Structure 1
Amino acid sequence: MTSSIDFEQLLRGMGDAVVVSNAQGAIVVWNDAATRLFGFSEEEALGQPLDLIIPDRLRGRHNEGYAKTVATGVTRYGTSLLKVPALHKDGRQLSIAFTVALLTGPQEEVQGVAAIIRDDTARFNEDRAMRRRIAELEQAAARSAA
């Protein structure tokens, strides 16, 4: 089946960020939505390691998992929605939700990883505020019952 889809147009038009990295973890695709989400232009992001958007405290674990995924061709996150912290160019911490797909070559070797990412910061903050309020109400109820 021959496709007449203009993939460049698709990437530009996506509302969600699309970030693709090669087997070494260097960013090779970065769409306009990724720029809006993370603050880095395409020129700033291309060729950079994914560490560009990963908080320091999570880089070691991420890099180990990434290397294992590339070596084995197996990821436990293929169909799961992941929710993790990320970094904006200005240093702000974001909460992102994303899915990943392994990109393989002719011998099924992993050549890269594609991620479709959306900003989940507002929902994360709302959930945290709700959990905090519930804890306060539970404490107040416990004091009243005592």
Structure 2
Amino acid sequence: MQPVDFAQLVANSGDAIVVSDARGIITVWNGAAERIFGFAESEALGQSLDLITPERHRERHWRGYEKTMRTGITRYGSDLLKVPALHKDGRALSIAFTVGLLFDAERNVTGITAIIRDETARWTEERQLRRRLAELEARPSEKAGA
């Protein structure tokens, strides 16, 4: 059995793979992350996750991030987290992701890896469908006057 080439696995993944250290600094940024968020690897590496986190969500994001670093527990290893994000050009994105925790030999959390998918088109379509449904439900029924 041939060993797995993890660098190729990360590089060739269709989903974004973003790894950040205990301080929330980006240490891995694959090609799919570049495609989704618009930032080249050279622009993202060494930057804070604030790069892709909308300002109005940062306080909540960092509270959760710090708690995860402190406790070594996250529910988003199996539960899909859906949140807004930012593209390099400033437009809003809707992303869905799961995370995995990275540990050192003493089982201290050293970082987080996120597997991210762009859900913007699907989210926009669902929002339009919900809006259209609400409009249809708000119309008086044709049988109401009969």
Query: What is the TM-score normalised by the length of structure 1?
Result: 0.94
Instruction: Supply the distance in 2 between the matched residues of 1:25 and 1:88 (Cα, whole angstroms).
Output: 18
Match of 1:4 in 2: 3
* Correspondence list, 1:15-54, <5 A: 15-54=14-53
Deviation per CA, 1:89-114: give whole Å up to 9, x if none: 00010000111011111111100000
Query: Per-residue deviation at 1:143?
Result: 8.6
**Aligned partner of 1:138: which letter?**
E
The superposition leaves residues 44-76 of structure 1 with CA deviations (integer Å, 9 ceiling, x where unpaired) of 000101010000000000011100100111112
Q: Give the aligned length.
A: 145
Q: Percent identity?
A: 61
2:48 & 2:80 partners in 1: Cα distance? Answer: 22
Residue 144 of structure 1, CA deviation? 6.8
**Quick one: distance in 2 between partners of 1:133 and 1:5?**
48
Runs of 5+ in structure 2 lacking a partner?
Answer: none
Q: Which residue of 2 aligns with 1:99?
A: 98
Partner of 1:64: 63
How far off is 1:117 after superposition?
Answer: 0.4
The structure whose residues are more often helix, as a share, is 1
Equivalent-residue separation in structure 1 for 2:142 and 2:35 (angstroms): 46
Give the TM-score of the pair, scaled to structure 2.
0.94
Aligned equivalents of 1:138 and 1:12: distance in 2?
A: 47
Structure 1 pair 142–60 and aligned structure 2 pair: CA distance change class (3 A): farther
Please tell me the root mean square deviation across aligned C-alpha atoms, in Å.
Answer: 1.6
Cα distance, 1:141 vs structure 2:
3.4
Letter in 2 for 1:25: G
